[in-house]
Amino acid sequence: MASQEYLDKMQLRQNYRNLWHTDLMSTIQRDPPYCCFAFWCAPCASYMLRKRALYNDMSRYTCCAGYMPCSGRCGESKCPEFCLCTEVFLCFGNSVASTRFLLQDEFNIQTTKCDNCIIGFMFCLQQIACIFSIVAMIVGSDEIQEAAQLLSCLSDMVYCTVCACMQTQHKVEMDKRDGKFGPQPMAVPPVQQMSRIDQPIPPAAGYPPAAYGAYGQPYPPQAPGYAAQGYPSAAYPPQYPPAGYPPSGYSR
């Protein structure tokens, strides 16, 4: 039953109407300094982005943002900063993916086919490199071993590059959320909005007309329940935003 509910919510993510402010291919042009920082200091970038995604309120932190079986079982409430450091260094890939899911579920952002192709290529290349390494170990051929090493280096480079682009994409999206591209910052959602896995399935939302959907462009103002920026308006959900937020120490 739980597995089916999880699959239903994963399927629902494909029907989200909003788009990332920039796609993966354009992140280097959008913010070159941060893309370089995310490439050379990836765990540090992941730490800062997750903390910022939580509005600098670490009382909201859960390991892997609540998307993994270990979430909530690692003593996060006692020392969230240490747990987040451990996550970004030991489970870096999961930390990037969890921040991505967190933003997608909070703002109903879909992943485009182009982004899916890039991510899928990264995973396929890693699998091919792994298969070549296993075959080289079994056969003992020097040529296959060299090919396996080349594929491993190539897959590592692609992995680091895609993760850097992802983290830049997340940073640009939070710049938009915090009002750096407009006069009004986004309100802080309640804690239960942070994990789509633990909350009810939201109302279905269709795609916008074909004339809309370019990266960073607003959706038509008549779209029910959505503001001009493409994010859910203050009336969605009804309790949004909660009293007492943003935290007094939060700064954009």
Neighbours of 43 (CB within 10 A): 15
Contacts of 205 (CB under 8 A, 6+ apart): 15, 16, 17, 108
In a domain, 233, yes or no: no
In a domain, 176, yes or no: yes
pLDDT digits (tens, 9 = 90+) for 160-200: 999 999 999 999 999 999 888 766 555 556 554 444 455 45
pLDDT at 246: 55
Backbone angles phi, psi at 60, to 5 degrees: -85, -10
pLDDT digits (tens, 9 = 90+) for 27-59: 999 999 999 999 999 999 999 999 999 999 999
Record the pTM. Answer: 0.70
In a domain, 244, yes or no: no
pLDDT at 172: 95
pLDDT at 69: 83
pLDDT at 116: 86
In a domain, 229, yes or no: no
Q: Who wins on pLDDT, 142 or 247?
A: 142
Burial of 143 (0-12, 13-18, 19+ CB in 10 A): exposed
pLDDT at 210: 37
pLDDT at 158: 93
Say if residues 158 and 24 touch (Cβ distance below 8 Å): no
Please give the Cα distance from 17 to 202 (Å, whole number): 13
- pLDDT bracket for residue 85 (50, 70, 90): very high
- Strand extents, DSSP E, the chain: none
Report the phi/psi class of residue 177: left, alpha or beta, with left for phi > 0 and alpha for psi in -120 to 50: alpha
pLDDT digits (tens, 9 = 90+) for 108-142: 998 888 888 998 999 999 999 999 889 988 988 88
In a domain, 92, yes or no: yes
In a domain, 250, yes or no: no
Q: DSSP secondary structure string, 154-166?
A: HHHHHHHHHHHHH
Q: How many domains does the chain have?
A: 1
In a domain, 8, yes or no: yes
Say if residues 111 and 162 touch (Cβ distance below 8 Å): no
In a domain, 36, yes or no: yes
41: containing domain: 2-185
